[in-house]
């Protein structure tokens, strides 16, 4: 079941987003009672405030474009929410392109940045009218030869090692992403031979980047690359802003980055002699903190060395702690003021699916509801049916109430598309 949302109201005062409805733990408990667990909940106001924060940080850039990374959370209702506040889209597959179009985005509001896909898929995306971003020399030459009039963005690899985890560092020398900055002569030869139109330069170094000097260093590489092309319309700096996962955790200082990068970008634009758009492709920054994952405690199991809290979920619903080692803040919202004890929180999958080791959490009893913070990005979108488990429901918290935006799966969903012999 999909609920297609129309307009989303927001209150803006002095260019700063003002929250209309705060969501608290009691609200989350009620949502779990209404929609069941496990359950994903997304706070619409938080998504809007993060979008507003990024725009304000770069308010002195005349032409700013924010391309939300669909892969972070692709629910149609979330895409419509972002469209309503002015966002564009960053997509990595033809399916994400079609989701964006279905959600009401115009082709020119979508950039398509694939990696390792078939040439036929790239042509299909181009046929839909979206911005094409190419990160492979052979594909660049093939596409330029066949479609020289279609504007193309080039993704470069700046050879900058950045990111909170090796799995999400994508701008280093051994990365599969982007065309090496050292291969610029090859790029220029292809462009000259095919007479293709290059209208953008793109890079993305990784995710969970804390040091803004990394962005600024990579920006200089991007500026240097851009000087090789005379008819650019935009420069896309990717994203990778770090968000806080735990109470007191540090995050990327967006405001400071905004001041420094704005100054450098405007100086480059002046020297370039042509109006340019500054683009970002945030995913985690916009939706991560807006997400809550709710799971019920099935069992509390004490061994000779550990007290396990086993929940009605597993890495089939939230794989980030196992895949990336990410630490999501976990709280017992059924007993928030209870005495803290040490628990290892695990799932019900027949694998080692440990969410947290020896974590201090308010005393847990069977039937209690645990809340995982920062569950808006790369959580539901990376879920699966492993162990033949159903995917959970998704709810949008808006205007002080929960709206179902994806129904919980049923046994019929597991059988769908299977051919019974």
> Over the stretch 285-299, which tens digit does the pLDDT of each residue have?
999 999 999 999 999
Any domain includes 4: no
CA pair distance 297, 243, nearest whole angstrom: 27
pLDDT, residue 49, reads 97
| Residues 147 and 282 placed together within one structural domain of the fold | yes
How many CB atoms within 10 Å of residue 212?
A: 18
Q: What is the pTM of this model?
A: 0.90
Any domain includes 32: no
Any domain includes 11: no
Any domain includes 202: yes
| Residues 185 and 53 placed together within one structural domain of the fold | yes
pLDDT, residue 165, reads 41
Q: Say yes or no to pLDDT of 137 above 90.
A: yes
CA pair distance 67, 36, nearest whole angstrom: 33
Structural domains counted in the chain: 2
383-393: average pLDDT: 97
pLDDT, residue 313, reads 97
| Residues 203 and 303 placed together within one structural domain of the fold | no
Beta-bridge partners for 227:
none
| Residues 120 and 268 placed together within one structural domain of the fold | yes
pLDDT, residue 206, reads 60
Bigger pLDDT: 9 vs 86: 86
Any domain includes 101: yes
| Residues 129 and 259 placed together within one structural domain of the fold | yes
Bigger pLDDT: 419 vs 9: 419
Model confidence over 218-231: pLDDT tens digits?
A: 899 999 999 999 99
pLDDT, residue 204, reads 79
**Residue 73's domain spans which residues?**
44-287
CA pair distance 270, 226, nearest whole angstrom: 13
Q: Say yes or no to pLDDT of 42 above 90.
A: yes
| Residues 80 and 202 placed together within one structural domain of the fold | yes
Bigger pLDDT: 27 vs 7: 27
pLDDT, residue 18, reads 39
Report the CATH number at residue 398.
2.40.37.10
Reported as a pLDDT band with limits 50, 70 and 90, residue 9 is very low
| Residues 116 and 76 placed together within one structural domain of the fold | yes
Q: Nearest to residue 74, comparing CAs of 281, 375, 280, 381?
A: 381
78-93: average pLDDT: 98
pLDDT, residue 208, reads 60
Any domain includes 18: no
| Residues 206 and 144 placed together within one structural domain of the fold | yes
Model confidence over 138-169: pLDDT tens digits?
A: 999 999 999 999 999 999 998 874 444 444 34
> Any idea what the Cα angle at residue 48 is, between residues 260 and 383, rounded to 5°?
100
Domain final position from 262, 287, 312: 287
CA pair distance 149, 100, nearest whole angstrom: 24
| Residues 181 and 249 placed together within one structural domain of the fold | yes
| Residues 410 and 344 placed together within one structural domain of the fold | yes
Q: Say yes or no to pLDDT of 418 above 50.
A: yes
Lowest-confidence segment of 165-179, 251-265, 306-320 by average pLDDT: 165-179
| Residues 228 and 375 placed together within one structural domain of the fold | no
| Residues 314 and 364 placed together within one structural domain of the fold | yes
Beta-bridge partners for 302:
307
Q: Say yes or no to pLDDT of 16 above 80.
A: no
Reported as a pLDDT band with limits 50, 70 and 90, residue 106 is very high
Q: Which of 10, 350, 371, 379 is catalytic?
A: 350
Any domain includes 23: no
Residue at token pair 């398509």: 112
Assigned token pair, 7: 């307009």
Any domain includes 115: yes
Q: Nearest to residue 294, comparing CAs of 27, 38, 42?
A: 38
Domain final position from 238, 269, 287: 287
Assigned token pair, 344: 């290892």
pLDDT, residue 133, reads 98
Model confidence over 228-286: pLDDT tens digits?
A: 999 999 999 998 887 877 676 778 889 999 999 999 999 999 999 999 999 999 999 99
Report the CATH number at residue 115.
3.20.20.10
pLDDT, residue 408, reads 98
Domain final position from 223, 258, 287: 287
Percent with pLDDT over 90 in the chain: 80
Residue 153 annotated in active site: no
């Amino acid at each position: 079941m999909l609920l297609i949302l129309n307009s989303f109201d927001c209150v803006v005062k002095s260019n700063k987003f003002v929250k209309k409805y705060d969501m608290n733990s009691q609200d989350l408990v009620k949502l779990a009672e209404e929609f069941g667990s496990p359950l994903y909940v997304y706070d619409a106001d938080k998504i809007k405030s993060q979008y507003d924060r990024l725009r304000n940080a770069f308010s002195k850039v005349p032409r700013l474009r924010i391309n939300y990374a669909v892969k972070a959370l692709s629910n149609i209702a979330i895409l419509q929410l972002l469209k309503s506040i002015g966002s564009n889209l960053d997509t990595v597959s033809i399916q994400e392109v079609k989701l964006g179009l279905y959600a009401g985005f115009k082709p020119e509001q979508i950039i398509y940045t694939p990696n390792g896909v078939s040439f036929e898929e790239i042509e299909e995306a181009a046929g839909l009218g979206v911005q094409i971003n190419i990160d492979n020399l052979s594909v660049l030459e093939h596409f330029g030869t066949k479609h020289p009039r279609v504007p193309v963005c080039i993704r470069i690899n700046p050879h900058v090692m950045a990111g909170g985890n090796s799995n999400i560092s994508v701008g280093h020398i051994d990365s599969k992403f982007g065309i090496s900055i050292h291969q610029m002569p090859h790029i220029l030869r292809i462009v000259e031979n095919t007479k293709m139109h290059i209208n953008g330069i793109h890079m993305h170094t990784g995710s969970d980047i804390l040091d803004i000097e990394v962005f600024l260093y990579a920006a200089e590489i991007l500026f240097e690359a851009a000087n090789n092309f005379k008819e650019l319309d935009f420069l896309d700096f990717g994203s990778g802003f770090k968000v806080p996962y735990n109470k007191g955790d540090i995050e990327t200082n967006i405001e400071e980055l905004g001041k420094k990068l704005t100054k450098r970008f405007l100086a480059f634009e002046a020297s370039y002699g042509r109006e340019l758009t500054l683009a970002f492709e945030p995913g985690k920054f916009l939706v991560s903190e807006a997400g809550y994952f709710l799971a019920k405690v099935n069992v509390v199991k004490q061994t000779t060395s550990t007290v396990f809290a086993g929940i009605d979920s597993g890495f089939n619903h939230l794989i980030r702690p196992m895949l990336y080692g990410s630490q999501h803040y976990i709280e017992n919202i059924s007993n928030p003021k209870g005495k803290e004890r040490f628990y290892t929180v695990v799932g019900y999958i027949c694998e080692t699916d440990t969410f947290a080791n020896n974590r201090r959490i308010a005393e847990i009893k069977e039937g209690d509801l645990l809340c995982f913070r920062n569950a808006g990005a790369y959580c539901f979108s990376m879920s699966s049916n492993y162990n033949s488990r159903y995917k959970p429901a998704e709810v949008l918290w808006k205007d002080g109430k929960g709206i179902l935006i994806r129904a919980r799966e049923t046994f019929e969903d597991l059988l769908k598309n299977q051919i019974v012999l």
